[in-house]
Structure 1
Amino acid sequence: MRPIPAQLSGRPFTLAEAEQLGLTRRMLSGDRFVRVRRGVYRCSDTPPTLRLQVQAALLVLPPGTAASHTTALALGGLTIGRHDELHFSGQGRPEHDIEGVVLHRRRVRLNTVLVDGVPALGPLRTFVDAATVLSMRDLLAVGDWLVFHEHVDVLDLRSYAIASHLDGVRKARRVAPIVRERVASVYESYVRWDLHAAGLPEPEVNVDILDDHGTWLARGDLVYRQWRILVEYDGWQHERDAQQRQRDHLRREALEAAGWRVIVITVEDMRRPGTVVSRVRQAIRQAA
């Protein structure tokens, strides 16, 4: 059996490249290879990661094309929005429709960066582009995530949205002013959006909570200091060990002893955001 050329390992490759290295179509149809898409293959022991799927698409897209929109975000570590489409931007037109690929044609040459070794549009442009395919709730999560991971500065994000004249910029301009620093999870962003959309006051994000004597009690996710209300997202309540659960229990007791009300939001709660808003609204009314 003919050995697989080493330069084909760990990446996608075209039919033409394989034939140049002495592989035939019949060999490529064997169990040592997998067809990724029309005219593109990988070795069967090469994992079909997102990065490989994007690289495979770029092999059949026009030169100068780059990952964009939610695909650029996913390459960087944030998976959000639909998972059945890969988004790219570029000036050219493909020779034929490519299944599962959306190509956004641009009139001008785009500035790109490398994300996980793949050409992609920069984070500021990606924030505005994402507005064309995401809800404002998801877009807030994108903005918070970009700022938290230091891909963009929050003031630069707002300035870019104001100065841009791109598709999606109207939605981006509505969301950018409420993007905040220190938002550590997508679910915190979702709760923040739900509270904002319901017209409730904006909480502080990830700040220290002290008692009346200045003693540190906790670091809170979403904090209404005026009413001593702490809203926390807890996605791991069933997976913590006994020691961690005990620490959580003592922490909550200390907060409640100091007059704080703790509202814990779980994964199940996130399926009914209206109930989360109602709980927070009721807590504010009672405290006021």
Structure 2
Amino acid sequence: MPDSQHFSHTTAALIHGIPLPFAVENATPLHVSADQSVGFPRARGVVGHHSGQSTTVESRQGLRVSSPVDCWCEIATLLRTDDLVAAGDFLVTGDEPLSAVPPLATLSDLELAVEARAGRRGIRRLSEAFLLVRYGSLSRMETLTRLLIVRAGLPEPLLNFTLADRAGGFVAMLDLAFPEWKVGIEYQGDVHREKERFRRDITRRERIEDQGWTVIYVSADDILRHHPLQTIERIRRRLRARGARV
């Protein structure tokens, strides 16, 4: 690859660790952008682009890639709005709530990037996604769960809420939470099937309930595939039982 070219779009997103839909993560073509002053990238297995004039190129793992924020703007032409929101949530959060390591970008960074791309392809989806990006999500599925809840007209939950006992001791970090009604939502991925994790989850569940909270557990099927409407009704019923007017 000449110095005038770099990885971009979803290829750059994967290099940065940005979560993408499974089908996109496993797609084989590489996205490569070139400076506008040189020819269009053409090679077998490559999707070629010309980079924007304001695109920042940086080195990551020894590879030339679009910066995280520019990459987010680039994939607006390829992803659905919800997937773009999940990518944005990752950029402004990373794993900072757990590790205290600063994320790759801030909400202000994304806002400036959206403003700079006014009138360009994908700007409508990018603008829509930006308004839905939040700090605090630690996984793509947590983001999609939040979006499902909000679009159903329910209150927006807090993300990765730290639950403490009466003495101030740590009890658990809940994926999504409605503290006013002491209702939590936990996404259960396949990692929770591991024996040791399964056993820890039992103890954790008891400790949460000891604080007067009720928790709704959801899986990918509940959010993406077969049961999203039933999932919303489960959440609504639980909130109503705790006094919420929803």
Shorter-normalised TM-score: what interval?
Answer: 0.7 to 0.9
TM-score (structure 2 length as normaliser): 0.80
Percent same amino acid among aligned pairs?
31
**Secondary structure, in 3 states, of the residue corresponding to 1:130?**
helix
> Structure 1 residues 132 and 66 mapped into 2: Cα distance closer, same or farther (>3 Å)?
same
> Structure 1 residues 79 and 85 mapped into 2: Cα distance closer, same or farther (>3 Å)?
farther
Give the count of matched residue pairs: 225
Matches within 5 A, 1:148-187: 148-149=93-94, 150-165=103-118, 166-187=120-141
**How big is the shift at 1:153?**
1.3
> Structure 1 residues 183 and 247 mapped into 2: Cα distance closer, same or farther (>3 Å)?
same
**Partner residue, 2:208:** 255
* Aligned counterparts of 2:63 and 2:14: Cα–Cα separation in 1: 12
**How big is the shift at 1:151?**
1.0
**Partner residue, 1:74:** 14
**How big is the shift at 1:191?**
0.9
CA RMSD, aligned part only?
2.4
Matches within 5 A, 1:202-241: 202-211=156-165, 214-235=168-189, 236-241=191-196
* Aligned counterparts of 2:210 and 2:232: Cα–Cα separation in 1: 24
Q: Does 1:123 align with 2:68?
A: yes
TM-score (structure 1 length as normaliser): 0.70
Structure 1 unpaired stretches of 5+: 1-57
**Is the Cα contact below 8 Å between 2:55 and 2:67 reproduced in 1?**
no
Q: Which of these residues, 46, 59, 62, is aligned with residue 101 of structure 1? A: 46
* Aligned counterparts of 2:18 and 2:185: Cα–Cα separation in 1: 23
> Structure 1 residues 266 and 110 mapped into 2: Cα distance closer, same or farther (>3 Å)?
closer
Which one scores higher on RCO, CA 8 angstroms, separation ≥ 6?
Answer: 2
* Partner AA of 2:233 in structure 1: S
> Structure 1 residues 277 and 154 mapped into 2: Cα distance closer, same or farther (>3 Å)?
same
Structure 2 unpaired stretches of 5+: 95-102
How far does the alpha carbon of each residue in 1:20-66 deviate from its partner, in whole angstroms, 9 at most, with x for none?
Answer: xxxxxxxxxxxxxxxxxxxxxxxxxxxxxxxxxxxxxx36xxx5121
**How big is the shift at 1:107?**
6.3
